[in-house]
Amino acid sequence: MEEEICKYIVIGAGGVATVVLTPALLAALGFTGAGIAAGSIAAKMMSLSALVYGGGIPAGGLVATLQSAATAGLGWLGTGIAAGTGSMIGNMISSICNVTVKVEDSP
Q: What are the per-10-residue average pLDDT scores of the chain (107 residues)?
A: 76 84 87 88 90 85 85 80 86 74 66
Q: Tell me the pTM.
A: 0.64
Longest pairwise C-alpha distance within the chain: 72
- Asked if residue 105 is part of any domain, the answer here is no
Residue 76, domain extent: 2-98
Can you tell me whether residue 68 is helix, strand or coil?
Answer: helix
- Asked if residue 104 is part of any domain, the answer here is no
Quote the pLDDT of residue 72.
78
Quote the pLDDT of residue 43.
92
Quote the pLDDT of residue 91.
83
- Asked if residue 107 is part of any domain, the answer here is no
- Asked if residue 93 is part of any domain, the answer here is yes
Quote the pLDDT of residue 107.
63
- Asked if residue 103 is part of any domain, the answer here is no
Quote the pLDDT of residue 41.
92
H helix and E strand count, the chain: 4, 2
